[in-house]
Homo-oligomer: A and B are copies of this chain.
């Protein structure tokens, strides 16, 4: 298997496949066709077959795919057996919502530390997660071997915090700020730009009408 050669678009669909396969297995389904999967995840069946073929997972004609085998296989690719500790930097409204958002239920990641400057919540537990002072960022990231951070701070301080996170050893940043971050080449940034999502939707409706993205 040449994981390094799979297209980025395929990689992005893997967690979705994984979750639906888990649902199917929990419901007692043992096999599934690409058409059935297509109905559930809303990618066309040809895309699904091509995606799976990158991993050498080939369905049998008239049988489809073995749900458990496929799920186990994708689970390994996605490292579902190891639990990743994630830092949340910025416990404002959005940060608070993400603390309450149960990532762990449907993924292999949990927020294990939150950071803020607000004295009212520093040294408290919010939604089960300890909130540390931003002064403790480097120490906690090192102590807890945190590799990934969720950034939900005001835009003006985002770059400075990205610098500190990268220096502290974080390799992945889920960036909810509108700022596009400058990071060293060994750090990956995934932008979740909510304003942009809404504007893109409005743009498509105004210019192209409906039809799913």
Interface residues of A (CB under 8 A from B): 3-4, 8, 11-12, 14-16, 18-19, 40-42, 77-79, 84, 86, 93-94, 96-98, 100-101, 103, 106-109, 147-148, 150, 171-172, 174, 178, 180, 183-213
Taking the closest CB of chain B, its distance from the CB of A167, in whole angstroms, is 14
How far, in angstroms, from A15 to B198 measured CA to CA in the complex? 10
In the complex, A136 Cα to B18 Cα: how many Å? Answer: 37
In the bound complex, what is the Cα–Cα distance between A171 and B207 (angstroms)?
Answer: 12
Q: 6 tightest CB-CB pairs across the interface, nearest first? A: A97-B97, A15-B199, A186-B210, A93-B100, A93-B97, A42-B180
| Identical copies in the complex | 2
Smallest Cβ distance from A189 to chain B, in angstroms?
5
| Known contacts A15-B196, A213-B189, A148 near B98 by CB under 8 Å | no
A154 to B212, CA, bound (A): 21
- In the assembled complex, which residues on chain B have CB atoms less than 8 Å from the CB atom of A15? 195-196, 199-200, 203
